[in-house]
Amino acid sequence: MYNFSGGIRPPGSLQIMLFLASHFYTGVSQVPNFPEFVIVGLMDELQVEHYDSNTRRYVPKQDWANRMTEDDQTYWDRYTQIARGTQQWFKGNIEIVKQRLNQTGGVHVYQWMYGCEWDDETDEVVNGYWQDGFDGEDFLVLDLKTETWIAPVQQAVPTKQQWENDKAMLARYKHYYTTECVDWLKKYVEFGRSSLMRKDLPSVSLLQKTPSSPLTCHATGFYPDRADLFWKKDEEELHEDVVKGEILPNHDGSFQMSVDLDLSGLKDEDWGRYSCVFHLAGGQEVSKRLDKRDIRTNWKTNDGGIAVLAVIGCIIGFFVYKKKHPKGKDPHQDH
């Protein structure tokens, strides 16, 4: 599924000159040792704001995000209060949706994501979005262009009908996503432009578990996440005998990804014709030619030496993403 939102505002994501603000809200029930409510604010996949039910504080996650207090000294305190109210709202909504779906006890997850996308060059609002879901399945989605709600499951139809009849609420949402959300996004872009616009190339390694395993090309430490990693033979990109992984976040805000190559049909004399290429948006590249001497592995070599144990750390961010809200007013209403 995806994400959530509550009564806070969005962070952003940038693509070339597009910036995306996203907020993800997650409420859970009966999950031991885990906060029952979490908000994650993102800009260009970079976490900038955070709240959870254990700390009960809405806080910045980037130094430059704290500049929001320059124009509003009560910013973090105000959104802390909003987040606490949204936490209670989420708790009630979990029970409502459970009743709609005829479910009782057990572990349940309610998520909401919202946000907006803005073109820094044209100053146009590219998109605004809202989605919520329950236990990994979509529940309601707002189509901002048609000003209608999409109900992927039958149990959401009553809410869809009720909300579509509330034209004033739809007007508020449209105003928020096309105006207030974008104003908030622009402010963060102003404060964090140097970080958001930076381009970091990765370190690229060749990894293999066993002699019969696929060869993994692993790139880590790059930013932003608008990148590609692929194998090529001579100057031609390979699409067969390769398996590409997803781009994953690292703990420091950078990203990592990998792509596997099946070596079973590869002739020794052809190894030098293969290379792994990392391409970052904007044209920068890192290329690593296939060479047995560069492969890091964890099996013993023929001369008895022990090769380096390759460990790929995949940091999985708490999936609660997407977008929205500014003025301290929760646009959501009970289902």
CATH code, domain with 213: 2.60.40.10
In a domain, 334, yes or no: no
Q: Specify the pLDDT at position 300.
A: 55
Considering 150, 174, 196, which residue would you say is the last residue of a domain?
196
Indicate whether 235 and 130 sit together in one domain.
no
| Band of residue 133 on the pLDDT scale cut at 50, 70, 90 | very high
Could you check whether the bond before residue 158 is cis, i.e. omega within 30 degrees of 0? no
Q: Specify the pLDDT at position 243.
A: 97
Indicate whether 80 and 107 sit together in one domain.
yes
Host H or E run for residue 162? helix 157-164
In a domain, 335, yes or no: no
Q: Write down the pTM of the prediction.
A: 0.70
Indicate whether 229 and 175 sit together in one domain.
no
Task: Reply yes or no on whether the pLDDT at 9 is more than 50.
Answer: no
Domain, as residue range, for 207: 203-297
Q: Specify the pLDDT at position 208.
A: 95
Q: Specify the pLDDT at position 17.
A: 56
First to last CA, the chain: 19
Indicate whether 188 and 250 sit together in one domain.
no
Indicate whether 85 and 183 sit together in one domain.
yes
Task: Reply yes or no on whether the pLDDT at 281 is more than 90.
Answer: no
Indicate whether 169 and 207 sit together in one domain.
no
Here the tokens at position 224 are 């932003």
3-state secondary structure of 89: helix
* Mean of the per-residue pLDDT values of the chain: 83
Indicate whether 124 and 162 sit together in one domain.
yes
Considering 196, 212, 227, which residue would you say is the last residue of a domain?
196
Indicate whether 192 and 207 sit together in one domain.
no
C-alpha dist (Å) from residue 133 to 176, 267, 308: 21, 50, 44
Q: Tell me the pLDDT tens digit for each residue of 87-131.
A: 999 998 888 888 888 887 788 999 999 999 998 888 888 889 899
Indicate the number of domains in the chain.
2
Task: Reply yes or no on whether the pLDDT at 335 is more than 70.
Answer: no
Considering 154, 173, 196, which residue would you say is the last residue of a domain?
196
In a domain, 229, yes or no: yes
Q: Specify the pLDDT at position 333.
A: 42
Q: Is 216 exposed, middle or buried (0-12, 13-18, 19+ CB in 10 A)?
A: buried
| Band of residue 38 on the pLDDT scale cut at 50, 70, 90 | very high
The CATH code of the domain that includes 22 is: 3.30.500.10
Q: Name the region of 253 (left: φ>0; alpha: ψ -120 to 50; beta: rest).
A: left
Q: Specify the pLDDT at position 40.
A: 96
Indicate whether 176 and 152 sit together in one domain.
yes
In a domain, 290, yes or no: yes
In a domain, 106, yes or no: yes
Indicate whether 83 and 188 sit together in one domain.
yes
Mean pLDDT, residues 136-156: 92
3-state secondary structure of 96: helix
Mean pLDDT, residues 51-62: 96
CA distance 324 to 87: 16
CA distance 114 to 132: 9
Q: Specify the pLDDT at position 123.
A: 86
